[in-house]
């Protein structure tokens, strides 16, 4: 079976690379993925797979039906890019300023198209029905998964699998774990209001920059002094805006950031302590504040039976020595979590890095890229999971 799967993956590889590069050149963000969705829909239709479009606004769903099958597994790929400026010199660089596929969703879409082609060719060996899910808006909350679930994308689905290219692991490696795999990713926005004035007369003002700076510096103690060192939590301040002139203390500043946790109790502790800290610092300076906290996607949870299926497939494909298991949970977030909260699921990292080629930058980095050979391994895994189910 291994040789057969890799033979098909290699045969489709050149075309799948071309699809990935075309999507990379034409990035689309959030729900505005009509061109990419059209590529996926056309690819499924060309295989004779019934296609539904407009699922979750702009998602695409195709069902490969197998006579006599009573079980259905779903394979999911996300389609959206990021609102980031790409800083690479690759020939397939983004054609649009401020939009780029710097998280690998172009590869995810291309790989799922490749898997659909392979499984159509090997349909006689399938014992389960396969649902191909091409999802918009993974990168923005509340995201495409919620919208697609609302449009019944999980109806009649028994298990769902998702993969993600990961350049911190080399090509040819897979990585996963049982239980929490990725973090709940919350965000917060803060406005601190003081009293503006002339920068030469700070004693006549309530300086919101001072208040904000003290909060930024002290916020890290929320994790280091309130969270058990054996638990996981991250607080990152990612925005700080205030002032328009060099000689004026502004009346207010705004801050924003993210909280990543794996446990609801830890999440609540961090959330509460952040606001307590802000309230204390603001009061000490006679400033006012607003604190808006948005709970994001929940923890991406891997169910043991699905992880077992992944381990059987990956061990067969690359050998146990090339499967990183169990990895420690990663504090990145993923709206695949929404599926994993509904039905048995497993999310898998597919190694995409290559130090010799300089492909080492993490997702969301302006110079992110993948060793495209990883797409062979991505297609091989989703094909194997389908054939072994």
| Residues that are catalytic | 80, 138
Pairing state between β 174-175 and 51-55 = unpaired
Which helix or strand (DSSP H or E) is residue 348 part of? strand 345-353
* Rounded CA separation 319/56 (Å): 38
The rounded distance, in Å, linking the Cα atoms of 134 and 108 is 9
Distance separating alpha carbons of residues 166 and 104, to the nearest angstrom: 8
CB-CB contact of 207 with 285 (8 Å): yes
Element (H, E) at 248: strand 248-249
Q: For residues 192 and 194, give the distance between their C-alpha atoms in angstroms, rounded to a whole number.
A: 7
Longest dimension (CA), the chain: 81
Q: Which of 83, 146, 135 is nearest to 108 (CA)?
A: 135
Closest CA to 318 of 107, 169, 162: 169
Token pair for residue 20? 């990935």
Which token pair is 351?
């190694």
């Amino acid at each position: 079976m291994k040789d057969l799967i890799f033979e098909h993956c290699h045969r489709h590889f050149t075309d799948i690379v071309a699809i990935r590069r075309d999507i990379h050149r034409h990035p689309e963000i959030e729900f505005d993925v009509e061109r990419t969705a059209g590529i996926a829909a056309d690819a499924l239709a060309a295989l004779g797979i019934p296609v539904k479009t407009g699922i979750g606004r702009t998602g695409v769903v195709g069902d490969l039906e197998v006579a006599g099958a009573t079980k259905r597994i779903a394979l999911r790929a996300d389609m959206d890019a990021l609102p980031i400026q790409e800083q690479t010199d690759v020939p397939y660089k983004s054609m649009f300023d401020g939009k780029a596929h710097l998280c690998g969703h172009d590869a995810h879409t291309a790989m799922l198209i490749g898997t659909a082609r392979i499984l159509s060719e090997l349909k006689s060996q399938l014992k389960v029905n396969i649902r191909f899910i091409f999802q918009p808006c993974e990168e923005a909350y509340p995201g495409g998964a919620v919208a697609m679930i609302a449009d019944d994308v999980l109806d009649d689905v028994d298990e769902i699998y998702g993969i993600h290219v990961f350049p911190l692991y080399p090509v040819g490696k897979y990585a996963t774990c049982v239980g929490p795999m990725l973090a709940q990713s919350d965000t917060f926005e803060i406005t601190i209001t003081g009293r503006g004035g002339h920068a030469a007369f700070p004693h006549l003002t309530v300086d919101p920059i001072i208040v904000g700076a003290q909060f930024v510096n002290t916020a890290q103690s929320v994790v280091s002094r309130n969270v058990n060192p054996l638990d996981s939590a991250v607080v990152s301040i990612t925005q700080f805006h205030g002032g328009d002139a060099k000689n004026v203390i502004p009346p207010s500043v705004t801050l924003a950031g993210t909280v990543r946790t794996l446990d609801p109790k830890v999440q609540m502790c961090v959330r509460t302590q952040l606001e307590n800290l802000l309230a204390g610092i603001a009061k000490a300076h006679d400033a006012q504040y607003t604190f808006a906290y948005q709970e994001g996607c929940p923890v991406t949870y891997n169910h043991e039976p699905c992880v077992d299926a992944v381990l059987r497939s990956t061990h067969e494909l690359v050998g146990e020595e090339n499967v990183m298991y169990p990895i420690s949970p990663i504090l990145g977030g993923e709206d695949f979590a929404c599926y994993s909260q509904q039905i048995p699921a497993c999310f898998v990292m597919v190694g995409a890095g290559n130090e010799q080629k300089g492909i080492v930058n993490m997702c969301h980095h302006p110079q992110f890229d993948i060793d495209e050979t990883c797409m062979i391994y991505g297609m091989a895994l989703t094909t194997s999971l389908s054939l072994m189910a």
